[in-house]
Amino acid sequence: MALAAVAWAAVAACASMGAPTGGPKDKKPPVLLSVSPDTGARRAKVKDVVFTFDEVVSERPKTAPTLDQIVVVSPSDGLPVVDWQRTKLAVHPKKGWRPNTAYTVTLLPGLSDLSNNDIKKALFTVFSTGDSIPRGVVRGVVFDWIGQKVIAGARIEAMLGADTTLVWLTASDSLGRFALPQTPPSEDLRVRAYFDQNRNRQKDRNEPWDTATLTLTDSARRDFYVFSHDSIPPKMSDITLVDSTALRIKFDRPINPASPLVVSQFVLLNKDSSVRALRALYPSSRFDSLAVIAKKERDDSLAKADTTKATRTARAKADSLRAVVVRDSIAQAQIDAVKASRDTVKREPAPKPARPAPVSDYVLQLVAPLKIGDTVRVHLTGAIALDGTVRKTDSKMVYRPKPAPKDTSKRAGAPGAKPGATSPAASAAGAAKKTAADSSAAKKPIADSTAVKNAAIDSSAVKKAALDSTALKKAVADSLAAKKPAVPPNAVKPPESHTP
């Protein structure tokens, strides 16, 4: 019994998944040793397509929850079945391989070993259960049209006309690029690209997508610009004042570039239902760039007209700073070029969309400025969404409020401040100091009373000392007078001596 328990524990330990312990750390991803059947095989009699690696691979890929989500079988009539066999992956369609059909089985990036080192590139094999392998291929890039960026992992599907029995599949790489190989020639090849956000391998309602119909002989190229087709027309979400003669209008979703808005689609009504005249309508980006150019030209003309010494000094300083910026940018470009020459890793930049982003906000210019307190209602007709959905009418109120009252309090010493004026902060600080002083004085009434009494006593002592000094002088004089001999009244005074 004990021996059976030990044996069972040993088997369980061998079967458990986990990173190996001890020895040097594994930093290399699994290496593909072989794939069966080989690429290019014809009349293949196959039960499974088997990928064999040099080490045990994980059942949980790095880029998806399960193995079947990183395996693509094209064409497909259902989800693939993937069997994990430690160092091998065995793949077959759920309904089996069809006769006289060319297949591409792709293993997407993300397969990892037990140390979480994953394969960065896709692995694939191409074979046929018949005599031929078609050479047709569709290439392109999948873009997020509104975000103007590539989408990695987008799903691309192609069907021959309305026949949905077989679907040719592939996925975009990290740069949004895709290739749909071994596609049969067709004059009605219907291709769809979508961002499978929840990875359930089917297009859900709110997932962005795009579609096209192509004619394929040997190769074709088509970029896809996906967006959400929610069948909701655009609506004005916010209107703000750029200035008294311009309104910035923002929409909750972009406007179809095939049907851009024009000024005639807008009407501005005053409170009395009178119509305000409109000057022009610009996409916000265009309006802002024109405003920057106009401001620069105005500032330059004013600077040239102003020939004072201060202006000349400021202009020279600005030119000096501009030259420093240019010099620094050139030096940084040289440093980047040196670093790039030393970098042996080839990095390919992401493709750029050829189609501009759809506009979702405009600036509407008025002929006459709005006065303070004016209220107008903006009416719009015929705004069209990217998917063609139309909003027949839309309206929104705009109000030009009174400007915020200026702060009339001025700091002491600030330009324009009256002499001797103090700021509210300084007044508050003075009041706080006075309150503290009053509090300290209130805490010492007894000490102050005692000091007054002591001062009175000291004053009395000074007066008494003065009286005592006078009495002492009188007593000394009386004592000296008492020690002199008494002279009789009839005594003759001795004659005064004279020196010859």
With 90 as the cut, is the pLDDT of residue 479 above it?
no
DSSP string, 300-345: HHHHHH---HHHHHHHHHHHHHHHHHHHHHHHHHHHHHHHHHH--S
Q: Which residues pair with 395 in a beta bridge?
A: 379
Query: What average pLDDT score do residues 411-424 get?
Result: 50
The CA distance from 172 to 179, in Å, is 8
Q: Please give the helix or strand (H or E) that residue 85 lies within, else none.
A: strand 80-85
With 60 as the cut, is the pLDDT of residue 377 above it?
yes
- The residue ranges of every structural domain in the chain are 29-226, 236-334+357-399
With 80 as the cut, is the pLDDT of residue 476 above it?
no
With 90 as the cut, is the pLDDT of residue 169 above it?
yes
Give the whole-number percent of the chain exceeding pLDDT 70: 76
* 107-116, 149-158, 476-485: segment of lowest average pLDDT: 476-485
* 40-49, 102-111, 272-281, 404-413: segment of lowest average pLDDT: 404-413
With 50 as the cut, is the pLDDT of residue 15 above it?
no
With 90 as the cut, is the pLDDT of residue 428 above it?
no
Query: What average pLDDT score do residues 212-232 get?
Result: 95
Q: Which residues pair with 137 in a beta bridge?
A: 219
Residue in the block written with tokens 């309602």: 205
The CA distance from 357 to 147, in Å, is 7
With 80 as the cut, is the pLDDT of residue 9 above it?
no
435 vs 230, more confident: 230
Give the whole-number percent of the chain exceeding pLDDT 90: 59
Segment of 6-15, 197-206, 266-275 carrying the highest mean pLDDT: 266-275
25 vs 380, more confident: 380
Query: What average pLDDT score do residues 186-196 get?
Result: 95
User: What is the average pLDDT score of the chain?
Assistant: 82
Beta carbons of 398 and 247 less than 8 angstroms apart? yes
217 vs 336, more confident: 217
Residue in the block written with tokens 């192609």: 158
Fold (topology level) of 29-226: Immunoglobulin-like (2.60.40)
User: Does residue 24 have a cis peptide bond before it, meaning omega lies within 30 degrees of 0?
Assistant: no
The CA distance from 253 to 266, in Å, is 18
The CA distance from 303 to 316, in Å, is 11
The per-residue pLDDT for 317 is 84
The per-residue pLDDT for 442 is 47
How many whole angstroms from its chain centre is CA 423?
A: 40
DSSP 118: B
The CA distance from 494 to 231, in Å, is 153
Query: What average pLDDT score do residues 123-130 get?
Result: 95
With 90 as the cut, is the pLDDT of residue 219 above it?
yes
With 50 as the cut, is the pLDDT of residue 208 above it?
yes
The per-residue pLDDT for 233 is 96
With 90 as the cut, is the pLDDT of residue 359 above it?
yes
User: Does residue 351 have a cis peptide bond before it, meaning omega lies within 30 degrees of 0?
Assistant: no
Beta carbons of 241 and 398 less than 8 angstroms apart? yes
- Same CATH topology for 29-226 and 236-334+357-399: the answer is yes
Region of 153 (left: φ > 0; alpha: ψ -120 to 50; beta: rest) is left
pLDDT tens digits along 287-340: 999 999 998 888 888 877 777 877 778 878 888 888 888 888 888 888 888 877
Beta carbons of 250 and 239 less than 8 angstroms apart? yes
Radius of gyration of the chain (CA): 49
Beta carbons of 237 and 220 less than 8 angstroms apart? no
pLDDT tens digits along 59-84: 999 988 899 999 999 999 888 999 99
Structure tokens at 452: 């007054």
Q: Which residues pair with 179 in a beta bridge?
A: 139
> Which residues are CB-contacts of 115 (< 8 A; sequence separation ≥ 6)?
19, 20, 25, 26, 27
Residue in the block written with tokens 């990928």: 51
Residue in the block written with tokens 């915020």: 404
User: What is the CATH number assigned to the segment(s) 236-334+357-399?
Assistant: 2.60.40.1220
* Strand-by-strand arrangement of the 32-36 sheet: 32-36, 49-53, 88-93, 80-85
426 vs 260, more confident: 260
* 29-38, 183-192, 212-221, 470-479: segment of lowest average pLDDT: 470-479
* pTM metric for this prediction: 0.69
With 60 as the cut, is the pLDDT of residue 422 above it?
no
With 70 as the cut, is the pLDDT of residue 394 above it?
yes
Strand 186-194 versus strand 209-216 pairing type: antiparallel
